[in-house]
Amino acid sequence: MPKISNKGTQMPQSPIRKLVPFAEDAKKRGTKVYHLNIGQPDIETPKMALDAVKNTSIKTLAYARSEGSEVYREKLVGYYKNNNININANDIVVTTGGSEALLFTIGSITDFGDEIIIPEPFYANYNGFATSNGVTVKPIVSSIDNGFALPNINEFEKAITSKTKAIIICNPGNPTGYLYTEDEIQKLKDIVLKHDIFLIADEVYREFIYDGLEHYSVMHEEQLANHAILIDSVSKRYSMCGARIGCVVSKNKAVIETVLKYAQARLSPPTYALIASEAALDTPQSYFTNVLDEYTDRRNTLINALQKIDGIKVSKPKGAFYCIAELPVKDSDHFAQWLLENFNYNNETVMVAPASGFYSTKGSGKNQIRIAYVLNKEDLIRSVTIIKIALSEYLKNN
């Protein structure tokens, strides 16, 4: 029988999606499953985005430009300007989601055997993007004890070798909800300039910032013009995960030219999704204000409830809509599967994401889970109640 490639064999499973069969089996048994495992917002997509697709007069659904339509990219320039990011349309390549933006970026700046440094825990698919490009992830461990703040910059210094091509951050972070400060961004700036490497910032959660704090983009640092690469997406901002529209932004012309070659090879982003995304850029500020108020309440509801459970340690997110919770268990993968296979409370259970999949260091995060607070407050309270009762039963037998 023909063999699968080594990199194919090494591709990691998604910690978010690998438990789906167990959740589906639980539902078939009549158990209600509260999904805390995936960042799929329940907020309605802006009506203007949906209407733009419904009302289009297109007769032939043609290819879009590989880099995205000029109209959309020009409107993105205006969006970024409102966020104090000054670029032009030629600094943007539109992609099929933020995932493709990361794949194209890593492919453009690395060769097989190169290395990328990432503070962990990090978005699980970074592992997959690196593996598919033959790149090694060098993790720098952050701690729940300080809310997953940027690790000491000396740890990054120690990890840099002749093969290091970039540092990747997610700001604010998935899965931690941590928001990097201006001082932390400047520390990263200094080290990437010193070693002449790239700083890739995944900023798809820019609108989800709490407690009156402000987002500080890598694109605010003028000295990083040739070193900063911004990854973005409409998925969370407009609750348009299914649109699959993202982008790569950089003032480094060689980066954009190379990313564009990857974009040309896959032909184009989806035309209808581009139309929806273009219309979404006209979403009024009131939409974001209401969404932020809702997520602030959800965050507070979840964190306050979790903190009341003995044995649970949780960091309070400053952004995005995730938190990492440390549980009094040895193996959160086993616990997460047990919740779906062997447990229910009044015919209800919860689905969580084991945090080990958000680490690259083997054995890390085994007693942690990621929770996405994308459910309404009543369901979040119910979910935490189920977790509390489940933990008590699980610890008696494991």
In this prediction, residues 2-23 reach a mean pLDDT of 87
Confidence check: pLDDT of 386 > 90: yes
Give the per-residue pLDDT at 17: 77
CA angle 125-105-262, nearest 5°? 110
Name the fold adopted by 6-44+286-397. Answer: Aspartate Aminotransferase, domain 1 (3.90.1150)
**Rounded to the nearest 10 degrees, what angle do helices 97-109 and 253-265 cross at?**
120
194-223 pLDDT, tens digit each: 999 999 999 999 999 999 999 999 999 999
Domain range annotation of the chain: 6-44+286-397, 47-280
300-309 pLDDT, tens digit each: 999 999 999 9
* Cα–Cα dist 52/9, whole Å: 42
Q: List Cβ neighbours of 220 (8 Å cut-off, separation of 6 or more).
A: 84, 85, 182, 185
Give the per-residue pLDDT at 284: 96
* 395 compared with 12, residue with greater pLDDT: 395
CA distances for 220 relative to 75, 171, 356, angstroms = 19, 13, 33
Confidence check: pLDDT of 25 > 80: yes
Confidence check: pLDDT of 7 > 90: no
Neighbours of 61 (CB within 10 A): 10
What CATH class does 47-280 carry?
A: alpha beta
* Cα–Cα dist 240/315, whole Å: 27
Give the per-residue pLDDT at 52: 97
Beta-bridge mates of residue 168: 200
In this prediction, residues 281-293 reach a mean pLDDT of 96
Confidence check: pLDDT of 374 > 80: yes
Query: 3-class SS at 127?
Result: helix
Q: pLDDT band for position 191 (50/70/90)?
A: very high
Confidence check: pLDDT of 385 > 90: yes
30-58 pLDDT, tens digit each: 999 999 998 988 999 999 999 999 999 99
* Proportion of the chain above pLDDT 70, given as a percent: 99
Amino acid occupying residue 257: E
227-282 pLDDT, tens digit each: 999 999 999 999 999 999 999 999 999 999 999 999 999 999 999 999 999 999 99
Give the per-residue pLDDT at 20: 92
Give the per-residue pLDDT at 337: 96
Query: What b-and-e string marks burial along 62-98, b requiring 16 or more CB atoms within 10 Å of the CB?
Result: eebbbbbbeebbebbbeebeeeebebebebbbbbbbb
Give the per-residue pLDDT at 398: 82
Confidence check: pLDDT of 15 > 80: no
312-371 pLDDT, tens digit each: 999 999 999 999 999 999 999 999 999 999 999 999 999 999 999 999 998 999 999 999
103-141 pLDDT, tens digit each: 999 999 999 999 999 999 999 999 999 999 999 999 999
Give the per-residue pLDDT at 13: 78
